[in-house]
C-alpha cells in the first residue's frame, strides 16, 4: 500500500494521466462494500486525477461488477463523483515520420476463455459466479496464478499485436511485466551476462540479487523467444508479495517499465527498462 500511495502522489504532482488498467479491485473474493470501505482513502487519491480529467478506469475480469451502473452508483460514484466512466479499453494516437501510430490499452483478459466471452457469460461471472465464490471461498487458477497460462496468454497477446498495423498493445492481467515483447527475467539475465563480461563484482552482485528476487516472484516462468517485434508491453502487477508494484510510463518521448519498491529511505521509483518511442516505431 505504501508504494501505491507514493506512486499516486508522484504521478499526480508531476502531471501524469493515470490509466487504471483493470482488476482495480479484487471483487471475486471481496464484496464491493468491503473493498471500497477498506480503500476509501486511496480511491479518493485516484479521484483527484479524475477531478483534473486525468483518470481512465479500465474494466478487468476480477472487477466486472463495475460494468453495471447500479454497482457504480452505489459504491464508486460516492467517491469519484458523476464524472466517472468505466471503459473496456483506451486508444491513444500519435505520429512519427508522417505515419500514425496507436497505443491500445486494455486489461488483457480478452482472449482468455475463462475470463472473456459474450455479454451473457460476463453477466454470469459478475452476477452469479462471483457471489458464489465469495460465499464458498472457492479458489480457482486464473491466468495470473498459473505459470503455464501466463506465458501462453502473453504469447497470444503478442501474436495478436504483431498482426496489427502500427499498433502497440499494453495490457495487464498476467502479473508478469513485459517490455517491448521481452519479459523482465530475460532482461535481467542479459544484464547479468553483461556484468560478468565486464568482470564488475558490484554489478554482478546486484544483477544476481535482482534476478533471484524476480525468479522467486515469477516462479521460473519461461517466455517465448519468438516475440521479436516490440509491439507488446505488460504493466506487471501492483500486488507483488513483497509490496513492490510495476507499471508502464509514457512520457517525454519515452516508454518505460518502472518499479516502486521499499527501501531504507522509503518508497522509491526505479526505471527497469526504457526506450524512445522513435526507436520502438522504427522497429515496426
Domain coordinates of the chain in residue numbers? 2-184+224-282
Dump pLDDT digits (tens) for 181-216. Answer: 665 566 677 778 888 988 988 888 988 887 777 666
Predicted confidence at residue 143, as pLDDT, reads 42
Calculate the dihedral angle through the C-alpha atoms of 76, 80, 81, 85, rounding to the nearest 10 degrees. Answer: -70
Going by the DSSP 8-state scheme, the letter that residue 228 receives in this structure is -
Dump pLDDT digits (tens) for 5-62. Answer: 999 999 999 999 999 998 888 888 889 999 999 999 999 999 999 999 999 999 998 8
242 burial via Cβ count (<10 Å: 0-12, 13-18, 19+): exposed
On the question of pLDDT at 221 being above 60, the answer is: no
List, as own/partner pairs, every contact residues 75-78 make where C-beta atoms lie below 8 angstroms and the sequence separation is at least 24, other chains included: 75/32, 75/33, 75/35, 75/36, 76/36, 76/43
Query: CB of 168 within 8 A of CB of 233?
Result: yes
Q: How far is the C-alpha of 188 from the C-alpha of 221, rounded, in Å?
A: 14
In this prediction, residues 138-167 reach a mean pLDDT of 66
In this prediction, residues 246-259 reach a mean pLDDT of 95
pLDDT tier, 145 (very low <50, low <70, confident <90, very high otherwise): very low
Calculate the average pLDDT of the chain: 81
pLDDT tier, 136 (very low <50, low <70, confident <90, very high otherwise): very low
pLDDT tier, 241 (very low <50, low <70, confident <90, very high otherwise): low
Going by their DSSP bridges, the two strands 245-251 and 254-263 should be labelled as: antiparallel
Which range scores top for mean pLDDT: 34-38, 174-178, 215-219? 34-38
pLDDT tier, 175 (very low <50, low <70, confident <90, very high otherwise): low
Query: CB of 281 within 8 A of CB of 180?
Result: no
Predicted confidence at residue 26, as pLDDT, reads 85
The pTM of the whole model exceeds 0.95: no
Query: CB of 245 within 8 A of CB of 4?
Result: yes
Predicted confidence at residue 242, as pLDDT, reads 72
Helices 201-218 and 184-197, interaxial angle, to 10°? 160
Predicted confidence at residue 11, as pLDDT, reads 98
Q: How far is the C-alpha of 208 from the C-alpha of 15, rounded, in Å?
A: 35
Amino acid at each position: 500500500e505504501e508504494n501505491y500511495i507514493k506512486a499516486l502522489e508522484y504521478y499526480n504532482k508531476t502531471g501524469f494521466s493515470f490509466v487504471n488498467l483493470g482488476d482495480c479491485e479484487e471483487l471475486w473474493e471481496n464484496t464491493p462494500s468491503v473493498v471500497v470501505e477498506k480503500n476509501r482513502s486511496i480511491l479518493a487519491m485516484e479521484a483527484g486525477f479524475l477531478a483534473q480529467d486525468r483518470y481512465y478506469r479500465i474494466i478487468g475480469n476480477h472487477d466486472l461488477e463495475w460494468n453495471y451502473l447500479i454497482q457504480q452508483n452505489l459504491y464508486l460514484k460516492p467517491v469519484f463523483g458523476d464524472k466517472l466512466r468505466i471503459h473496456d479499453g483506451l486508444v491513444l494516437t500519435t505520429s512519427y515520420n508522417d505515419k500514425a501510430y496507436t497505443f491500445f490499452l486494455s486489461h488483457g483478459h480478452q482472449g482468455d476463455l475463462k475470463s472473456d466471452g459474450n455479454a451473457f457469460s460476463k453477466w454470469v461471472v459478475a452476477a452469479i459466479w462471483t457471489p458464489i465464490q465469495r460465499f464458498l471461498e472457492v479458489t480457482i487458477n486464473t491466468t495470473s496464478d498459473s505459470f503455464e497460462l501466463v506465458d501462453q496468454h502473453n504469447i497470444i497477446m503478442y501474436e495478436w499485436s504483431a498482426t496489427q498495423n502500427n499498433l502497440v498493445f499494453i495490457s495487464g492481467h498476467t502479473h508478469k511485466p513485459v517490455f517491448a515483447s521481452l519479459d523482465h527475467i530475460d532482461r535481467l539475465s542479459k544484464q547479468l551476462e553483461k556484468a560478468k563480461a565486464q568482470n564488475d563484482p558490484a554489478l554482478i552482485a546486484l544483477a544476481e540479487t535482482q534476478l533471484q528476487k524476480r525468479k522467486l516472484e515469477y516462479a521460473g516462468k519461461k517466455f517465448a523467444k519468438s516475440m521479436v517485434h516490440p509491439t507488446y508491453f505488460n504493466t506487471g502487477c501492483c500486488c507483488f508479495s513483497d509490496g513492490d508494484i510495476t507499471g508502464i510510463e509514457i512520457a517525454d518521448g519515452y516508454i518505460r517499465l518502472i518499479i516502486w519498491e521499499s527501501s531504507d529511505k522509503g518508497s522509491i521509483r526505479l526505471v527497469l527498462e526504457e526506450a524512445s518511442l522513435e526507436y520502438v516505431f522504427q522497429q515496426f
